Amino acid sequence: MCGRFSLSVMPEEVRDALGLFELDAFPARYNIAPTQPILVVIQSERREPGSNMPERRAMLVRWGLLPSWVKDPNDFPLLINARSETAIGKASFKAAMRHRRVLVPASGFYEWHRPEKGSDEKSQAYWIRPRKGGVIAFAGLMETWSSPDGSEVDTGAILTVGSNRSIARIHDRMPVVIAPEDYDRWLDCRAYEPREVTDLLAAPADDFFEAVPVSNLVNKVSNTGPAVQAAIAESLPPVEKTDGEAGSGQMSLF
């Protein structure tokens, strides 16, 4: 799953990486948690012929998707993630997969290696970031939920997939990362049906991310500074390389 992530780069970097026309300033966020506002990028209205204006825009949504048909949010589970393997057919996500696919800009995410019951081993948190740095974009879904009194809340979830080999030692799920060359296809719900973008719902290459062991500071939502990403000593053995594999060096919404 993906239960915490970070977006700690400058707004200009997000704007340029995601092809946005404009983006309001926002603070670095090192420990984004469920129910908090998250930045998403959507496909905006079609451009006028001959216009060079970008077709994408950014907005804030609550992290925790609420399908439009939900009557009482208090009786519905918090959907922060959607399994990519079943999202097309699942009632909670199929409308969003067809009509409201989004990108979720991020600097990386956190995951916890949790030992088996009865083990003396302690749970270990990891800051998982792209080896090359920069901004990445998770595959996301969005829904606007309307309350009985007519008020609306924009909500979202992050799609996950089975982990690649380097992350599987920590957790068996990870967020789907959409490559820049595939942003248009993922966002364009008019031209591409869900079955035409399922090939994008795959784990990135084994060497795309690096996992940095961090302290338990990240466990508390109230810890929001860069200290949550400070490296500590590794507690898990490294991933064994296969034959012939080359080694690698070291805002308020509501």
Burial state string for 203-239 with b = 16 or more CB within 10 A and e = fewer than 16: bbebebbbbbbbeebbeeeeebeeebbeeeeeeeeeb
Residue 189 designated active-site: no
Active-site residue, from 22, 55, 111, 152: 111
- Strands 124-130, 81-83: pairing is unpaired
Active-site residue, from 2, 22, 45, 193: 2
| Secondary structure element (H or E) that encloses residue 48, with its range | none
Residue 11 token pair: 């707004």
- 109 and 128 in contact (C-beta within 8 Å)? yes
CA distances from 202 to 178, 182, 214 (A): 9, 12, 26
Active-site residue numbers?
2, 111
